[in-house]
Amino acid sequence: MIKVDHIWKSFNRQTVLKDISVEFEKGKNNLIIGQSGSGKTVLLKSIVGLLDIDKGEVKYDDVVYSKLNFKKKKEIRKKIGMLFQGSALFDSSTVEENVIYPLNMFTNMSYEEKRERANFCLNRVNILNANQLYPSEISGGMQKRVAIARAIALNPEYLFCDEPDSGLDPITTLRINNLIKEITEEFNTITIVNTHDMNSVMEFGEKIIFIHMGQKWWEGTNKDILHTENEKLNDFVFANHMAKRLKQIK
């Protein structure tokens, strides 16, 4: 379980996260939703410790992760897989080398084993015949998928995805969401996904928190989300005309 306990984060004078508390459970798809600029990425980066929080704490199981020193954090980080909003592939390495990288760093596998594992992960995200290409030579959606392959290479216990579906077509989005769900269930990971794609929310949101202007505005499941009275959340969920009409018909 990951427990976020009253965390605050500000940059210069702007307070981005205001007193957020939430718990994320194992084997579940946890979603963080909210408008662009609401603080989703900052929240995710605070949870994984890429940003230092000002107040509060983040607990991984029983360890107060946010207060650990760099060395001890490293031990936990080896169990984290993370997909960044901009993929963050190493652009001087090929697709295959990108996926092999964490294996190189943290396992003693032979070269053959590493390649096999890398190909297995690439297969799972449906990347075929692109092993020797560089990130700049593949499309944005492919980069996302390679980044997911890299994130799952070491069988992570914690999986964080920052907008896995932005910039992807509906079919690929569905495929990636399914993949994330499968991995979550198969390896019993704690998965936290940032998104503003309502389809993903409806399909996969076993637990959803809605962030608005840096505050946790609402928390629930994909079943609750359609029936909420929360005005800001309704504005968000039923933002487009079609959704609004659907709600009226209901």
Residue 34 interacting entry, from ligand ATP, another protein, Mg ion, none, C-beta within 5 to 8 Å by type: ligand ATP
Residue 42 interacting entry, from another protein, Mg ion, ligand ATP, none, C-beta within 5 to 8 Å by type: ligand ATP
Minimum distance from CB of 32 to ligand ATP (Å)?
8
Query: 41 vs 131, which CB is nearer to ligand ATP?
Result: 41
CA distance 158 to 187: 10
Q: What is the DSSP letter of 222?
A: T
> Where on the chain is the footprint of ligand ATP (CB under 6 A)?
11, 16, 34, 36-42, 85, 196
Given the DSSP bridges, would you call strands 55-60 and 63-64 parallel, antiparallel or unpaired?
A: antiparallel
Copy the structure tokens of residue 53: 């929080």
Query: 73 vs 212, which CB is nearer to another protein?
Result: 73
Minimum distance from CB of 161 to another protein (Å)?
12
Minimum distance from CB of 31 to ligand ATP (Å)?
13
Minimum distance from CB of 140 to another protein (Å)?
13
CA distance 144 to 185: 21
Residue 99 interacting entry, from Mg ion, ligand ATP, another protein, none, C-beta within 5 to 8 Å by type: none
CA distance 185 to 27: 5
> Where on the chain is the footprint of another protein (CB under 8 A)?
45, 48, 50, 70, 73-78, 80, 82, 84-86, 88-91, 101-102, 104-106
Query: 85 vs 228, which CB is nearer to another protein?
Result: 85
Taking residues 24 to 63 in sequence order and writing x for each that binds Mg ion by CB under 5 A, - otherwise, the string is: -----------------x----------------------
Number of Cβ within a 10 Å radius of residue 138: 18
Residue 90 interacting entry, from Mg ion, ligand ATP, another protein, none, C-beta within 5 to 8 Å by type: another protein
Minimum distance from CB of 156 to another protein (Å)?
10
Query: 38 vs 200, which CB is nearer to ligand ATP?
Result: 38
Residues at the site binding Mg ion, with contacts judged by CB under 5 A? 41, 85
